[in-house]
Amino acid sequence: MDFINLPILLAGLLLSISILTSLVSSRVGVPLILLFLCIGLTVGAGNFEVLQSLQHPRIVFFVGSVALAMILFDSGFHTPMKNYREDAKPALLMSTVGVAITALILSVFVYWLLDWGWLPALLLVSIISSTDSAAVFFLLRSRGLSLKERIKATLEIESGTNDPMAIFLTLIFAMLIKQHMTGEVVSAGFVVSSFFKQALVGAGAGFLLSSLMQFLVNKFHLETALYPIFVLGLALFGFAVSNLLGGSGFLTLYIAGLLVGNSRIQAYAQISKFQQTFTWLSQISMFVVLGLFVTFSGLLTVWAPAFAISVFLMFVARPIMVFLLLAPFKVYNLGEKIFISFVGLRGATSILLALIPMVFQLPYAEEIFNIIFVMVLISLAIQGFAIPVVGRWCGVTLPRLEKDPVKTEIDLPGLTDSSLVMYEITENTPVVQGEKIPKWAKPTLVIRNGVSYPAGARLRQLKKGDKVYIFVSSELQRPVLDRLFGGSGAVDKGTCGDFPIAPTTTFSELEWMYGLTVDKGIRDYSIAELFEQEFDGIEVGDRLSLGSVELVVHGLEDGVLTEVGIDIDPEFHHKNWLFRKLKAKKIKNN
């Protein structure tokens, strides 16, 4: 029975070690993805007989493709749609035209350096031309970086949507080389039609898949634990169908995840948690399996050219592309452009694409794979370590004013837009320190020392260790509750407001969310639009009075409103001498 037990033993050991390395990553500051790769590389060097079946290019490509597809689905699922409304144009420009420009600039250097000819050089740079969504998403999360919203959205959208372009370029140049070997000719029309087919079929399948998911999840009443597995099955089904129809399955799942994640579906909290867990498993599996495929001896033979190409890519090719394409967008300052140029991490996508030359049995296939692997290691090591420092230098990081709250979400059957959220109160929670709770956020149930106190019970003050249950009827309420019940540092509430509100929020949403009375003439206005109308030149600290609450400007970038706070007790703050000069402007009734 060793043929069963030994693989299970090794798989369990690798998975456990990979998870435990997160402790090392958080304490030492080593990028977690880099550790996953090194684990696979180290174990692969042991030449274990049980692992030989995993060291075939087709097997590795299959495992990596499925894992990457699910990572992209999750990244779309957890990307707010408002990011696309505000920052889509520059990010999508970099993820399409930018990939081609990067490949073109880098190909000249690779052609000169390696002397392989133009087609192999173009194939290599196509493989490494896209940033890796898995690397970017996980590195930003694992390093706990709080970036300016526009910068974060730009990086996430770019890395989440540039894989299809890199995949298309890689397949095209691989086919050109293969057909050049056989004496066949590929027409320009074939290349152009292939690109549009992958993009259009992939995007169309994504929209259809998202509609199918929303309909089926909301139509059938299943056991709560089955919804996440059901969504997983539909995602894999959609990925395969899109690929069989000639589209980009990766683009399909990213679009489907984006649309489903921003819709009202049953068991949203359970699906979200399952997605995060399964994505971690996919991440670990993909990087470890890719690491198993490599040998130390192969990497040593190519480290010098790989290092040279990496340096040229990081400090020449990508910066030229970023500065060129972001030039028309005046909202990005010099520091932000430098940071976006630097955060062009390469990861599993590039290693996965590097397997294609092996699958096609092309010239220089092994050299290309080894060069790409070394370049990914260099990218994760240099950029992964330096991102927090470069972020501070460029002025794009924000102080983390609060810690993530300890909470549990419970979906309510039949109410797709509502849930019950449980927060565990800590000593640093604002409500423990005397913060006022809005009427709509009053607890439905409080559990203290094992005793339940329902709504209406007269508890004078919440205490550390209390478990508070609150009914949430709108997604807009979640960030407010997280701020209210999360552990926070010192926040200047008079200047910033009690809670953050997105400037794109309309007053009709604000009315519904807080139970305010808003004049009919401004209900369709967004907060940003009304501030621009009422103030001749917005400044931080400007206020608008809205009945019993006030809206206060918290952040501006190049004159554009980026952060707004809502002050639920303005009278208290106006009594303080610091705010005597902060007179709120009354909103005129239309």
- For residues 216 and 454, which has the higher predicted lDDT (pLDDT)? 216
Stretch among 148-162, 170-184, 402-416, 569-583 having the lowest mean pLDDT: 569-583
If we measure between CA atoms, which residue out of 363, 314, 310 comes closest to residue 341? 314
CB 132 within 8 A of CB 348: yes
If we measure between CA atoms, which residue out of 175, 163, 209, 210 comes closest to residue 65? 163
Alpha helix positions (H), 29-148 = 32-44, 57-77, 81-114, 118-127, 133-142
What mean pLDDT comes out for the span 451-461?
A: 71
Maximum alpha-carbon separation in the chain = 85
- Cα dist. 232→256, 275, 416 in Å? 12, 8, 19
* Highest mean pLDDT: which range of 45-54, 175-184, 512-521: 175-184
Q: Which residues pair with 453 in a beta bridge?
A: 446
* pLDDT of the residue at 487: 56
Task: State pLDDT tens for residues 365-400.
Answer: 999 999 998 998 898 888 877 887 888 788 777 555
* pLDDT of the residue at 175: 85
Q: Other C-beta atoms within 10 Å of 575: how many?
A: 9
Stretch among 81-85, 164-168, 211-215 having the lowest mean pLDDT: 81-85
Please check the confidence at residue 517 and state whether its pLDDT lies above 60: yes
* pLDDT of the residue at 573: 43
> Following CA atoms 35, 40, 41, 45 in sequence, which dihedral angle do they give, to the nearest 10 degrees?
140
* pLDDT of the residue at 447: 86
d(CA 462, CA 445): 12
- For residues 173 and 503, which has the higher predicted lDDT (pLDDT)? 173
Mean pLDDT of the chain: 78
The secondary structure element, H or E, covering residue 589 is none
Q: Other C-beta atoms within 10 Å of 107: how many?
A: 22
Please check the confidence at residue 193 and state whether its pLDDT lies above 50: yes
* pLDDT of the residue at 572: 43
- For residues 301 and 345, which has the higher predicted lDDT (pLDDT)? 301
* pLDDT of the residue at 401: 45
d(CA 313, CA 292): 26
Instruction: Tokens for 516, please give them.
Output: 């305010």
* pLDDT of the residue at 125: 94
Burial class of residue 305 (count of CB atoms within 10 Å of its CB; 0-12, 13-18, 19+)? middle
If we measure between CA atoms, which residue out of 315, 281, 279, 298 comes closest to residue 373? 298
CB 562 within 8 A of CB 503: yes
Locate tokens 């799942």: which residue? Answer: 253
Task: State pLDDT tens for residues 550-565.
Answer: 777 766 666 677 778 7
Locate tokens 């206005």: which residue? Answer: 525
Task: State pLDDT tens for residues 307-341.
Answer: 999 999 999 999 999 999 999 988 788 888 999 99
Three-state SS string over 346-376 comes to CCHHHHHHCCHHHHCCCCCHHHHHHHHHHHH
* pLDDT of the residue at 511: 72
Which residues have C-beta within 8 Å of that of residue 173, sequence separation ≥ 6?
119, 122, 123, 126
Q: Nearest-5° angle of CA 190, CA 192, CA 195?
A: 105
Domains of the chain, each with CATH number or no CATH: 2-394 (1.20.1530.20), 401-491 (3.30.70.1450), 492-590 (3.30.465.10)
- For residues 185 and 501, which has the higher predicted lDDT (pLDDT)? 501
Instruction: Tokens for 315, please give them.
Output: 């400090």
* pLDDT of the residue at 276: 83
CB 209 within 8 A of CB 256: yes
If we measure between CA atoms, which residue out of 551, 566, 565 comes closest to residue 438? 566
Amino acid residing at 373:
F
Instruction: Tokens for 584, please give them.
Output: 């709120």
Please check the confidence at residue 544 and state whether its pLDDT lies above 60: yes
* pLDDT of the residue at 484: 72
Please check the confidence at residue 514 and state whether its pLDDT lies above 90: no
